[in-house]
Amino acid sequence: MLVVACPGQGAQSPGMLAPWTEVDGFVDALHRASEVTGTDLLAHGTTSDAETIRDTAVAQPLLVATALATLRAVLGAPAGTALPTAARGTVDVVAGHSVGELAAAAVAGVMTDDEALRLVAVRGAAMARAAAASPTGMRAVLGGDPEEVLARLAELGLVPANVNGAGQVVAAGPLDALAALGDAPPTRARVVPLQVAGAFHTDAMAPAVEELAAAAAHVIPRDPVVTLLGNGDGAVVRDGADAVARLVAQVARPVRWDLCQATLVDLGVTALLEVAPGGVLTGLARRTLPGVETLALKSPADLDAARDLVRRHAGTALTPQESQP
């Protein structure tokens, strides 16, 4: 049983799409995504520097476009082919971390590629504006006693914006409080700054929720044809309208990737394929999903291994009872 995982903001790196330009149809897919989002995603993925692609308004469309285009390469679904049609019967479960949820929704058939790309363009720009309104940020807290970590965040007025499992919590809030966290971290914990512009998945993003809700009103949602997990609670999402509502609300609510991984265990997933730019979610899975085979799709050199993983693990149908979280 195969899950496809779509990474979130911070996974991008300069030049990450350069090797993919040699893959048939990839450049055309990025040109189309650029047209839909109004951003030159091919240039950002090949020649833009780290500071440029750190911009939320750039990073988020770039990540969703990359996830969709690289999964198409794995499944052999050229532009013009409905991605859910290729995924159904091949991908058993799909989940996305933070902005990766929009790519996951397109894979599941809740919305089209173009709809997901239009929404992510709005999401990225709106979150960038919300972040610019106040000096906030995010830090990863690695290790430490979970209760002590959460208590320290509460003491400083910080929010556990991502609870990722594997001893990783992402704190979000004012920069001075984050600095204090770094100066006096919880026992046996390490604090690492993240390359994001603001306190995502907190109340600081409320203005972005309003903008995204207005844009999402133009989407006609479909019920998922591939089992889709929600970031907020790890639940299987069966209704298309509910999936879209969750995507909108999630901008200002914590990501519970730990609960998504718990659901994957309950479902009996045997393999995880993280689409490009893969690495972060695969690393978490290796520490929290024992016995699950993982593969991070980092370059076209990984395509044969990814297709082999799909061949060996995918295509197991879930019954309604089995798909309960």
> CB of 53 within 8 A of CB of 14?
yes
The H or E element spanning position 274 is: strand 271-274
- Among 34, 48, 97, 98, the one annotated catalytic: 98
How many whole angstroms separate alpha carbon 92 and alpha carbon 104?
12
Neighbours of 192 (CB within 10 A): 12
Rounded to 10°, the helix 26-37/56-75 angle is 150
Same domain? For 186 and 308 the reply is no
The β-bridge partners of 93 are: 3, 227
Domain boundary residue among 170, 193, 216? 193
Residues 164, 241 within the same domain: no
Q: Can you tell me whether residue 94 is helix, strand or coil? A: strand
Phi, psi dihedral angles at 14 (to 5 degrees) = -60, 135
Answer whether 262's CB lies under 8 Å from 233's CB. Answer: no
Six token digits for residue 299: 């370059």
From 193, 216, 244, give the residue that closes a domain. 193
Residue 316: what pLDDT?
A: 52
Per residue of the chain (325 residues), give pLDDT as tens.
999 999 999 899 999 999 999 999 999 999 999 999 999 999 999 999 999 999 999 999 999 999 999 999 999 988 778 899 889 889 999 999 999 999 999 999 999 999 999 999 999 999 999 999 989 999 999 999 999 999 999 999 999 999 999 899 999 999 999 999 999 999 999 999 987 889 999 999 999 999 999 999 999 999 999 999 999 999 999 999 999 999 999 999 999 999 999 999 999 999 999 999 999 999 999 999 999 999 999 999 999 999 999 999 986 544 433 333 3
Residues 113 and 174 in one domain: no
Q: How far apart are CA 66 and CA 236, in angstroms?
A: 24
31 labelled catalytic: no
* Residues 103, 21 share a domain: yes
* Catalytic residue of the set 34, 48, 97, 201: 201
Same domain, 84 and 146: no
Backbone angles phi, psi at 87, to 5 degrees: -80, -35
Decide if 97 is catalytic.
Answer: no
136 pairs with which residues across the strands? Answer: 174
Same domain, 27 and 158: no
**107 lies in a domain?**
yes
Q: Are residues 85 and 168 in the same domain?
A: no
Q: Does 159 share its domain with 113?
A: no
pTM, two decimals, is 0.93
Domain residue limits at 253: 2-131+203-313
Query: Does residue 92 share a domain with residue 12?
Result: yes
* Domain CATH code at residue 154: 3.30.70.250
